[in-house]
């Protein structure tokens, strides 16, 4: 199954994957279970754009994640569920149990009217039912659209309406550290503006006493008892939809990225096994939420298709104390630990006793994802968590890519702090200059594109193929544009330098400036807003909003609070601006375009050289903004 064990293997496999991509990927795909093998490996055209992998292949991804492990590993733990509260017991769910739960959940969805091709919105906390619901959709060919349980009613409603979901799966609430959140109430508010929703399935969890709406809402625990545990998997075409997952765009509403069954399965399986060098029997923990792509690909599909034991953590790193991660690593003897730079940086601040208390000697591989990891955090992670003995894999990828793209292979690729290192087999990066030309050779810098398809890539934006083309395939025609900048050093190693578009990555979460701006504008006193990112010690980047009001605010602090609440209500707490500066005007060009370059400099606290401002309609506004900078 295309196993890489040495750097020479990597070089050899990489070469093969470039010279004969179709042979390479069909070898990989042959390691998985198919109902029917493909007639053709690949058809593609990045101008249309159109990409199809394993054409004519038939499969069900859950047969690879569940059924195929039952013959020999039915009693192996598939999921270790670590609850929010460390005083409660963890749960070990075997492959056999997971299989049965998924089949029952699938039958429950069917009984509630879900059919192949329907889009099911899942809004659940990190409890086992979230995994059951996702896999149950895949089992019956329904398309899951998971919405992170920190999003607001408005954000859920937008996603339900965009996908045309008919069924929502939620719970009566969630625990988050010492807080509880009433998810059902949020769903009730959301579905008021979602005419497509006919059923809401509610998992009773925190016993919040959430009322059910008769005719629409049903209890999970009641319906599940009415169905059998026998649910044959639906046969899916390789290019049938597996899921939609929304990600912020630099303009307009979030984009529903579409992933399909065959290519995504092959890619997540391959990249999981290869990058982490997963060995049978190891315990693997990705701390992401299943509401993000990291959780889809590397808590569920990648690990389960590889027969791994994957930890699912309900809680947060800081509660009841900053030792929570390290405690769980000791408790479950975790071998591979995968988290985000923002979590590393926040835990770095805590007294070292919170780490020293725990035995971390089981660890072999440490991963990082979500944003560039700064050198300091990289070294801290290596020294204090890895004890200098673990491979550190900094994985660069995106919701759109489905799986890892540029990442070291654990204990195979020589590491360089803060570098995502080299492309994985099958990935062909190209660095472009602003003039649109590819820059060859090493020791170069530019915009990161990918010039050849890989099986895990998103196929379209749900309902808006034109936007897919415009966003990813028009800036550099014939190439997939990532939106990221990068350096390729003298050794050909890649370092991702961050977004070059209007997306801000806050604590590893993608936020579009346009989306935040329109949320701030919803406040009745606000006329216009411009949002930029600024460096933040823990979050990586944070949100800085420049706000024009109809009249000078009487109580600026109070208004700031109200604006933050507005953003929280419309998008979710993650998008709240850290800094809000009230201004009387914004630096606009004569054609009305906001010069964000200037605002970024002000937000970064670097106003010594703002560059040429003579093209501004009103250069005086810059002085006022500089003077009021926070
Ligand atoms: O800017 C890059 C950054 O996160 C973006 C993708 O965000 P999202 O679709 O939410 O997926 C996050 C999880 C894969 C990228 O365009 N990013 C992600 N991982 C890294 C990174 N930047 C630098 N280094 C990384 N390892």
- ipTM computed for the complex: 0.99
CA distances from 38 to 143, 259, 263 (A): 22, 18, 11
- Tell the residue nearest (CA) to atom 2 of ligand 1: 371
- Tell the residue nearest (CA) to atom 12 of ligand 1: 370
Q: Is 151 helix (H, G, I), strand (E, B) or coil?
A: coil
- Tell the residue nearest (CA) to atom 25 of ligand 1: 396
How far apart CA 511 and CA 251 sit, in angstroms, is 10
CA distances from 379 to 84, 140, 300, 374, 375 (A): 29, 45, 29, 9, 6
CA of 499 to the centre of ligand 1 (A): 9
- Cα-Cα-Cα-Cα dihedral sign, residues 367, 371, 374, 376: negative
- Give the number of the atom of ligand 1 that is nearest the alpha carbon of residue 394: 26
CA of 349 to the centre of ligand 1 (A): 23
- Tell the residue nearest (CA) to atom 8 of ligand 1: 398
CA 552 to chain centre: 40
Mutation choice for ligand 1 from 248, 275, 340, 370, CB with most ligand atoms inside 8 A: 370
DSSP 225: G
- Give the number of the atom of ligand 1 that is nearest the alpha carbon of residue 373: 24
How far apart CA 49 and CA 465 sit, in angstroms, is 9
- Local mean pLDDT, 10-residue blocks, the chain (630 residues): 91 98 98 98 98 98 98 98 98 98 98 98 98 98 97 96 98 97 97 98 97 97 98 98 94 92 98 98 98 98 98 97 98 98 94 97 97 94 98 98 98 96 98 95 97 98 98 97 96 95 92 93 94 94 96 94 96 95 91 87 89 82 92
- Give the number of the atom of ligand 1 that is nearest the alpha carbon of residue 288: 13
The residue to which tokens 């639906």 are assigned? 234
CA of 136 to the centre of ligand 1 (A): 28
Sheet containing 480-488: which strands, arranged edge to edge? 429-432, 444-450, 480-488, 494-499
How far apart CA 291 and CA 146 sit, in angstroms, is 6
Other beta carbons within 10 angstroms of residue 603's beta carbon come to 26
- Give the number of the atom of ligand 1 that is nearest the alpha carbon of residue 399: 9
CA of 370 to the centre of ligand 1 (A): 4
How far apart CA 33 and CA 89 sit, in angstroms, is 35
- Tell the residue nearest (CA) to atom 22 of ligand 1: 371
Pocket of ligand 1 (CB under 6 A): 247, 293-294, 368-372, 394-399, 420, 482-484, 496, 499, 505, 510
- Give the number of the atom of ligand 1 that is nearest the alpha carbon of residue 395: 26
Spatial contact of 510 and 399, defined as CB atoms under 8 Å apart? yes
CA of 199 to the centre of ligand 1 (A): 34
What confidence score (pLDDT) does residue 594 get? 87
Residues whose CB is less than 8 angstroms from the CB of residue 345 and which lie 6 or more positions away in sequence, other chains included = 374, 377, 537, 538, 540
Q: Which two tokens stand for residue 120?
A: 């099911």
Bridge-partner residues for 529, per DSSP?
547
- Give the number of the atom of ligand 1 that is nearest the alpha carbon of residue 510: 10
Mutation choice for ligand 1 from 257, 341, 481, 510, CB with most ligand atoms inside 8 A: 510
- Tell the residue nearest (CA) to atom 3 of ligand 1: 371
CA of 509 to the centre of ligand 1 (A): 8
How far apart CA 434 and CA 152 sit, in angstroms, is 38
pTM recorded for the entire structure: 0.95
Spatial contact of 529 and 567, defined as CB atoms under 8 Å apart? no
- Tell the residue nearest (CA) to atom 15 of ligand 1: 398
- Tell the residue nearest (CA) to atom 26 of ligand 1: 396
- Tell the residue nearest (CA) to atom 5 of ligand 1: 398
Mutation choice for ligand 1 from 151, 371, 461, 494, CB with most ligand atoms inside 8 A: 371
CA of 373 to the centre of ligand 1 (A): 10
CA of 572 to the centre of ligand 1 (A): 20
- Tell the residue nearest (CA) to atom 18 of ligand 1: 370
CB-count burial class (<10 Å; 0-12, 13-18, 19+) for 404:
buried
CA of 513 to the centre of ligand 1 (A): 16
How far apart CA 562 and CA 522 sit, in angstroms, is 11
How far apart CA 445 and CA 573 sit, in angstroms, is 35
Q: Which two tokens stand for residue 6?
A: 């040495």
Mutation choice for ligand 1 from 422, 505, 507, CB with most ligand atoms inside 8 A: 505
- Tell the residue nearest (CA) to atom 23 of ligand 1: 372
CA distances from 109 to 93, 104, 105, 242, 629 (A): 21, 9, 6, 16, 53
* Phi, psi for 496 (deg, rounded to 5): -85, 130
- Tell the residue nearest (CA) to atom 13 of ligand 1: 370
CA of 417 to the centre of ligand 1 (A): 17
What confidence score (pLDDT) does residue 616 get? 83
CA of 482 to the centre of ligand 1 (A): 10
- Tell the residue nearest (CA) to atom 11 of ligand 1: 398
- Tell the residue nearest (CA) to atom 21 of ligand 1: 371
* Residue among 116, 144, 138 at smallest CA distance from 265: 138
What confidence score (pLDDT) does residue 2 get? 78
CA of 354 to the centre of ligand 1 (A): 28
């Amino acid at each position: 199954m295309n196993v890489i064990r040495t750097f020479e293997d990597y070089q050899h496999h990489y070469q093969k994957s470039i010279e004969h991509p179709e042979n390479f990927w069909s070898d990989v795909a042959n390691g998985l279970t198919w109902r029917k093998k493909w007639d053709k490996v690949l058809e593609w055209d990045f101008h249309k754009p159109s990409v199809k992998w394993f054409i004519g292949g038939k499969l069900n991804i859950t047969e690879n994640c569940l059924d195929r492990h039952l013959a020999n590993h039915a009693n192996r733990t598939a999921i270790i569920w670590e609850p929010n509260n460390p005083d409660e017991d963890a749960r070990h769910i075997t492959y056999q149990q997971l299989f049965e739960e998924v089949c029952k959940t699938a039958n429950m969805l069917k009984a509630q009217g879900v059919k192949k091709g329907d889009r099911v919105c899942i809004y659940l906390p990190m409890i086992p039912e979230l995994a059951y619901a996702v896999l149950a959709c895949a089992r019956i060919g329904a398309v899951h659209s998971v919405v992170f349980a920190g999003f607001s009613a408005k954000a859920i409603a937008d996603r339900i309406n965009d996908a045309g979901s008919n069924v929502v799966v939620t719970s009566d609430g969630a625990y988050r550290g010492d807080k509880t959140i009433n998810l059902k109430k949020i769903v009730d508010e959301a579905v008021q503006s979602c005419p497509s929703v006919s059923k809401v399935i509610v998992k009773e969890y925190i016993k919040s006493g959430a009322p059910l709406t008769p005719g629409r809402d049903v209890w999970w625990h009641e319906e599940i008892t009415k169905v059998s545990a026998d649910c044959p998997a639906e046969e899916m075409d390789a290019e049938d939809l597996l899921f939609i997952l929304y990600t912020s765009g630099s303009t307009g509403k979030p984009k529903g990225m579409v992933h399909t069954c065959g290519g995504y399965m092959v890619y997540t399986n391959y990249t999981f096994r290869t990058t982490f060098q997963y060995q049978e029997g190891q315990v693997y923990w990705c701390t992401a939420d299943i509401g993000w792509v990291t959780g889809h690909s590397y808590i569920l599909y990648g690990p389960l298709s590889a027969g791994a034991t994957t930890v699912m953590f309900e809680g947060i790193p800081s509660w009841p104390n900053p030792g929570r991660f390290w405690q769980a690593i000791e408790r479950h003897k975790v071998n591979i630990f995968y988290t985000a730079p923002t979590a590393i940086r926040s835990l770095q601040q805590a007294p070292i006793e919170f780490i020293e208390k725990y035995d971390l000697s089981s660890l072999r591989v440490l991963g990082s994802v979500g944003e560039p990891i700064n050198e300091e955090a990289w070294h801290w992670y290596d020294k204090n968590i890895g004890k200098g003995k673990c491979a550190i894999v900094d994985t660069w990828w995106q919701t759109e890519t489905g799986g890892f793209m540029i990442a070291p292979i654990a204990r195979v690729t020589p590491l360089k702090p803060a570098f995502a290192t080299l492309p994985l087999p099958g990935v062909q990066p190209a660095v472009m200059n602003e003039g649109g030309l590819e820059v060859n050779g090493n020791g170069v810098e530019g915009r990161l594109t990918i010039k050849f398809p890989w099986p895990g890539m998103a196929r379209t934006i749900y309902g808006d193929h034109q936007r897919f083309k415009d966003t990813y395939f028009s800036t550099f025609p014939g190439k997939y544009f990532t939106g990221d900048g990068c350096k390729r050093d003298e050794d050909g190693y890649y370092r991702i330098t961050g977004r070059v578009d209007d997306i801000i990555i806050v604590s590893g979460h993608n936020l579009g400036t346009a989306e935040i701006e329109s949320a701030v504008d919803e406040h009745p006193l606000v006329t216009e807003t411009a949002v930029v990112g600024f460096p933040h010690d823990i979050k990586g980047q944070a949100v800085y909003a420049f706000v024009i009001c109809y009249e000078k605010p009487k109580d600026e602090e109070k208004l700031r609070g109200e604006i933050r609440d507005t953003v929280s209500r419309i998008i979710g707490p993650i998008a709240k601006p850290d800094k809000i500066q009230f201004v009387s005007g914004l630096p606009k060009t004569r054609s009305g375009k906001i010069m964000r370059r200037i605002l970024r400099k002000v937000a970064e606290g670097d106003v010594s050289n703002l560059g040429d401002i003579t093209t501004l309609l009103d250069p005086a506004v810059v002085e006022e903004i500089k003077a009021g900078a926070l």
